[in-house]
Amino acid sequence: SSQRETHNFQAEINQLLNLVINSLYSHKEIFLRELVSNASDALDKLRFRSITEPELLEGAPELAIRIIPDEAAGTLTIEDTGIGMTHDELVKNLGTIAHSGSREFLDLASKRGQKDVNLIGQFGVGFYSAYLVADQVSVVSRAAGKDSQAWRWSSDAKGSFTVETAEHATRGTAITLHLKQDQKEFLSEWRLRELITQYSDYVSHPIHLQVKKTTGEGAEEKTETKLEVVNKASALWQRSKSEITDEQYQEFYKHLSHDWEPALTWTHFRTEGNQVFTSLIFVPKHPPFDLDSQKPRGVRLFVKRVLIMDNCEEMLPQWLRFVRGVVDSDDLPLNVSRELLQDSAVVQGIRKHVTKKTLDMLEKLAKDKPDDYRTFWQAFGPILKEGLAMDVEYREKIGGLLRYESSREEGLTSLADYVSRMKEGQEAIYYVFGETRKAVVDSPHLEALKKRGYEVLYMTDPVDEWAIQGLKDFQGKPIVSAMHADLKLKETDEEKREKEERAKGLGPLAEKMKEVLKEQVREVRASDRLTDSPCCLVVPEGGSHAFVERLLRERGR
Ligand code: ADP
Ligand code: MG
């Protein structure tokens, strides 16, 4: 029996469609890369499921993508033999957005409009980019599995879509774009070939393009259509580095991350020995707007070229969660489960190696491209710093990657550069922590240090105070808070005598103050660390740090 339903798009989708149709004028050709990217994902998902359900491949074993231009009809069809979608999946996947905070994000993007196309790109236009070039789109899909029914989804992007029963010979999805009058260039064979090569060469499944071939001459001449594979159809990370261009790496990154902006840097390596695996790791330029949403995209795990998991958290520590990439292991079993991953020695070996390679890559970026490193540091420094407190093993290496502003007032400095500038007799690396730059610059805790000409690191990131305690020292120099009560600076005998005199003189005043302040302070004592300010608050030995106290306060404890 046939059936036809009309559904309204979720409000967010209408907003997104509006942005796509009215704001994104340039690079309309990216629709092809988005649709091919989805087809590739659908094929990967099928291949994964067929490990345990081989019957899914029955009758149609080929995993491929077909691109079919039809000049007479003015349509372009992108077809795959992947996992397909059921009726409910069509309605959900192509009618709603799963991102949390999407409403706020889309409001922001609408306001900025054309000025910030990249913003909307970060959000991921995905399937809806079809409406850059088409005014009518239909999706015929049949989920893998016996007796599944095919359905047609179609919409002109004006608030609603319809879903009805359809015919489709095999499993998979066919997306047909009714091209707008001025977008017919996407029917041209050479244009399509160019776009596939430029954007989609990384796809590990064959992409067939339907082309016209003329044979014979005169009365014998006839034109027929033929399918031609136009990509290399091998996993990009398995190719040798010298065969991959930067552009190809970047397109692969965009497929993986759903980011429209190119990656900042990457590292591609293969190991032999204890574990045999290949990995390709990217660092994005900016944090995704939904770093904490339900759809994290970290490292994709492959086993012998088969995609096993989209976001395999076990491959990298938490504090490298901004990294995107793939790990392809030859040692793990194809049917590896989450539980197995958690206590697998193979996984631990891989994780260690990938972590080290990632930190090496960042070191290299800092050395070779300081401007790019600054971009990285601004975007992900706070996350990387968590590693100081969480992972003793990598302290040294992370320590080398830290950057802070300092009393030198010349932008960011590394700890190594700080140490190289240390004054004669200076025994420690000093830092001051505060909520804002202004607060740290004006901090009375700095006076004694400044007087001696010691440089002080400014820490204004909330994570700093907790994180830096994990480091303790760097290149043999202790790292000391300027706020800490037992701050001891080298003093001359003269200074020592003066200090004792002063303390004696201030004794009665200190006692009086303690009387007045009662329980609010533990002790009032004379200090030699102030030069201009009359007093300051310090943390007593064993007392909790200001950051922790503020946290407790904020939570109403
Ligand atoms: P994303 O790829 O970021 O998830 P898209 O807008 O590109 O977002 O696609 C939305 C969803 O629609 C996908 O997550 C997938 O579930 C489904 N989908 C899109 N294209 C296909 C396809 N060719 N085969 C199967 N499912 C698809
Ligand atoms: Mg997509």
Q: Average pLDDT over the chain, rounded to whole?
A: 87
The pLDDT value given to residue 135: 96
**Cβ(39) to ligand 1 under 6 A?**
yes
Q: Are 162 and 5 in contact (CB under 8 A)?
A: yes
The pLDDT value given to residue 447: 81
Q: Is the pLDDT of residue 516 over 50?
A: yes
**Confidence band of 557 (pLDDT split at 50, 70, 90):** very low
Q: Are 205 and 230 in contact (CB under 8 A)?
A: no
Strands (E), 54-149: 65-70, 75-80, 134-142
The pLDDT value given to residue 30: 87
Whole-prediction pTM: 0.81
Residues 6+ apart with CB under 8 A from 10: 95, 96, 97
Query: What integer is the mean pLDDT of 519-548?
Result: 70
The pLDDT value given to residue 531: 66
**Confidence band of 294 (pLDDT split at 50, 70, 90):** very low
Query: What integer is the mean pLDDT of 61-65?
Result: 93
The pLDDT value given to residue 186: 98
Give me the DSSP letters along 509-543. Answer: HHHHHHHHHGGG-S-----SS-SSSS----BPTTP
The pLDDT value given to residue 246: 96
The pLDDT value given to residue 272: 81
pLDDT in tens, 295-314: 556 899 999 999 998 889 99
**Cβ(42) to ligand 1 under 6 A?**
yes
pLDDT in tens, 107-140: 777 777 655 556 666 666 789 999 999 999 999 9
Q: Is the pLDDT of residue 341 over 50?
A: yes
**Cβ(85) to ligand 1 under 6 A?**
yes
Sheet containing 75-80, strands listed edge to edge, beginning at the edge strand earlier in sequence? 4-8, 160-166, 150-155, 134-142, 172-179, 75-80, 65-70, 207-215, 222-229
Q: How far is the CA of 536 from the centre of ligand 2 (A)?
A: 56
Residue nearest to atom 1 of ligand 1 (CA): 126
Q: Which residue has the higher pLDDT, 529 or 89?
A: 89
Residue nearest to atom 17 of ligand 1 (CA): 93
The share of the chain scoring above pLDDT 90, in percent, equals: 57
Lowest mean pLDDT among 42-56, 179-193, 441-455, 494-508: 494-508
Mutate to test the pocket of ligand 1, among 19, 34, 41 (most ligand atoms within 8 A of CB): 41
Closest ligand to residue 129's CA: 1
pLDDT in tens, 212-222: 998 888 888 88
Residue nearest to atom 8 of ligand 1 (CA): 126
Q: Is the pLDDT of residue 485 over 60?
A: no
Q: Across 439-453, 463-477, 481-495, which has the greatest mean pLDDT?
A: 463-477
Q: Which residues are annotated as a binding site for ATP?
A: 34, 38, 80, 85, 93, 100-101, 122-127, 173, 338
Residue nearest to atom 20 of ligand 1 (CA): 38
**Confidence band of 436 (pLDDT split at 50, 70, 90):** confident
Q: Which helix (H) or strand (E) holds 322?
A: none
Mutate to test the pocket of ligand 1, among 10, 34, 38 (most ligand atoms within 8 A of CB): 38
**Cβ(80) to ligand 1 under 6 A?**
yes
pLDDT in tens, 6-40: 999 998 899 889 888 887 777 889 899 989 999 99
Lowest mean pLDDT among 244-253, 280-289, 491-500: 491-500
pLDDT in tens, 355-378: 999 999 999 999 999 999 999 999
Q: Which residues are annotated as a binding site?
A: 34, 38, 80, 85, 93, 100-101, 122-127, 173, 338
What was the ipTM of the complex prediction?
Answer: 0.99
**Cβ(288) to ligand 1 under 6 A?**
no
Paired tokens of 181: 């009058």
The pLDDT value given to residue 125: 78
The pLDDT value given to residue 123: 67
Q: How far is the CA of 139 from the centre of ligand 2 (A)?
A: 14
Query: How many CA atoms, within 13 angstroms, populate the side-chain half-sphere of residue 64?
Result: 18
**Cβ(172) to ligand 1 under 6 A?**
no
**Cβ(278) to ligand 1 under 6 A?**
no
The pLDDT value given to residue 120: 63
Q: How far is the CA of 39 from the centre of ligand 1 (A)?
A: 8
Closest ligand to residue 80's CA: 1
